Amino acid sequence: MSRKSAEPNDGQKPFRVPVDEIRKRTAKIQRELQQNGIDGLFIAQRVDLFYFSGTAQNGFLYIPAEGQPTLFIKQYYPRAREESGIDHIVEIDSIRDVPRQIAQIYGGMPETLGFELDVLPVNDFNYYTRIFKIKKYVDGSPLIFNLRKIKSDWEIQQMEKTAELTAKTFEYMRDAIEPGLSEMEFAAMAESYARKRGHQGKIRTRHYQTEGYPWHFLSGKNGAMPGLLDAAASGAGTSAAFPVGAGRKKIGINEPIMIDMGMVLNGYHLDETRMFAIESMPNRAMQASQIAIEIHNLVLEKASPGVALDELFEYSVKIAESRGIAESYLGAAGHKVSFIGHGIGLEIVEPQYIARNKKEILQPGMTFALEPKMVFVDEFAAGVESVFVVTHKGARLITKIPVEVFIC
């Protein structure tokens, strides 16, 4: 079958995950399976499917502990064939076809099969166990996380392309912001600018209670909710049903504005925050914003291979205490979060957290969104967020936005 793309494009080469990337990932996860006594891994979640196959078409991927994987596609086979680096792709009518196909291709069924139990709905899992009828089912998600947390050079390059788009978008916002626009209006302007240049809009999240929202625009007191930084209230100003994003408040002059934007290009995310103000920013807010930048920069200097994640977190807390902003750092009293950063890549939040009691150490290839923030109740929020990669020598920013307060 011809591998020439049938999809329209703007003259640029269609995006592909290199075949070599797919093969390296397969070899690595197979080593994990063998070391953990798991005979095979069944991939159903869309992001994991893309990671291991190069396509996000409707289907499933079976990776045996030894041998070539098989991609089972329901919809749309021609595009999956075009996009995927998997050699063996089978078109199916139903998931019910998969067990028979596995038995036929591999000469029998695995005795132990791994699933993505962190995200697989209970009803789906129960159904799969009925049709597979094998001896033992285990959670394969930790093995996937352990592999995905280390980004290849190619993946870092994709995130850097996303960073170029976010830098252009923040510069656009610097030029376009004006008093009298509502937060929602300005958010829509910024997203329109980014979407025209490749931002895919859909922010991928893994946890079933997490909403993937692309932007949070919080001006003045709209950023001053006590629970602003709590996971259950990641934004303010919109309806009570979904308290995220931007609100109807008009943007004013001489007030602090926190803009937190998630961006995704070809599946790879960036998550970045900068403080804005029109004409000027009140001294108290400017001072807090500068302290957030100082914490951000000092943590980056300390982030090197072998350093524990909780060591970076506690270091940031000590800096905040020494600067006299401990009361507001990481949220208001009773609503403080216990992290200053999270993993990022094909999902906006990936499992590694720069957080209290997280003993895992930094390794080259890990990528994080670093976000020291603070909330001054009934006044404003302040903070900064950038994405960095751990290298053999230390930390390097992927983010290309200047680490500064934007006075417009």
Helix (H, G, I), strand (E, B), or coil: what is residue 202? coil
Domain 153-407 in CATH 3.30.70.1880: no
- pLDDT bin (cut points 50, 70, 90) of residue 14 is confident
Q: What is the DSSP letter of 251?
A: P
Is the pLDDT assigned to residue 29 strictly greater than 70?
yes
DSSP string over 101-128: HHHHHHTS--SEEEE-TTTS-HHHHHHH
- pLDDT for 1 equals 32
Is the pLDDT assigned to residue 198 strictly greater than 60?
yes
- pLDDT for 208 equals 81
What does the pLDDT look like over 36-89, one tens digit per residue?
999 999 999 999 999 999 999 999 999 999 999 999 999 999 999 999 999 999
Region 272-294: mean pLDDT is 97
Task: Kindly state the tokens that stand for 253.
Answer: 């002059």
DSSP string over 141-171: HHHHHHHHTS--HHHHHHHHHHHHHHHHHHH
- pLDDT for 96 equals 95
- pLDDT for 282 equals 96
> What's the CATH number for 19-148?
3.40.350.10
Could you tell me the pTM of the whole model? Answer: 0.92
- For the chain, which residues make up each domain, given as ranges? 19-148, 153-407
Q: What is the mean pLDDT of the chain?
A: 91
What does the pLDDT look like over 160-178, one tens digit per residue?
999 999 999 999 999 999 9
- pLDDT bin (cut points 50, 70, 90) of residue 226 is low
Is the pLDDT assigned to residue 244 strictly greater than 70?
no
